[in-house]
Amino acid sequence: MMLRFHKLIFAAAVGLAALSGGARAATVDLDFRLPAGSSELGRADSVSFAQGSLALTVTAGVQAFGRIWPWAQVTRARSGLGVRNAFMDGGQIDGRIGRDLLIFSFDRAVRIEGVGFARVDSDDDAALFVEGGTGALERAAVFDLPSGGWLSTLTLDPAWFGDLFGIGAAGWNDDFRISGLRVSFEDGISATPGPGPFGLILAALGALALALRGRGARA
């Protein structure tokens, strides 16, 4: 009877271990370009995207006077996403009247591995913002965009990790759109640190097995 019970504990532990390790790494390419003839051209306070189990909300802001202001809307076009701020500038991400930026809010932590840009000139730079200790976006890096004409791709190595990012104009003479993002994430893993429920159950089963083995040895 004791041997049979030990076998049951072992089978349960193996099954739970398999479940707890069932999370997988997923890579998603988000394409913000609109097809020709689309009726979605225009601007909005926010734009939402979903692909698989990943959800994203995009809003716009303006860098001015040392902070980020919500005086802007997201624009959509066939080449991707841009910004139209309250000062009535153009619909691309530029730095002519305040430095425009797009704010990307994911429903989970992701790694941004690449950014697609459109309408890039030879002198365009992009600023990357990440969430700081206060919860606000802080400028973390500036990238010289590869000039590829209509479309250009920037690979981030190493990738940046988090659930809130901003990408915008670094200077007054920058002017571009964002055509897409490549992100990766652990699909199925809880954001709560620690052993999780499966780990706790495994620990309890292990303790029970040890107790029963000790009891059997004394018998």
Q: pLDDT tens digit string along 144-189?
A: 998 766 678 899 988 899 999 999 999 999 999 999 999 999 986 5
Which of 3-12, 50-59, 83-92, 118-127 shows the highest mean pLDDT?
A: 50-59
Single pTM value for the model: 0.75
Residue in the structure block whose two tokens are 């860098």? 63
Bridge pairing between strands 46-51 and 54-64: antiparallel
Give the orientation angle of helix 196-218 with respect to helix 2-20, to 10 degrees.
160
pLDDT digits (tens, 9 = 90+) for 11-37: 444 444 444 455 688 999 999 999 887
User: Percentages helix, strand, coil for the chain, rounded to the nearest 5?
Assistant: 20, 50, 30
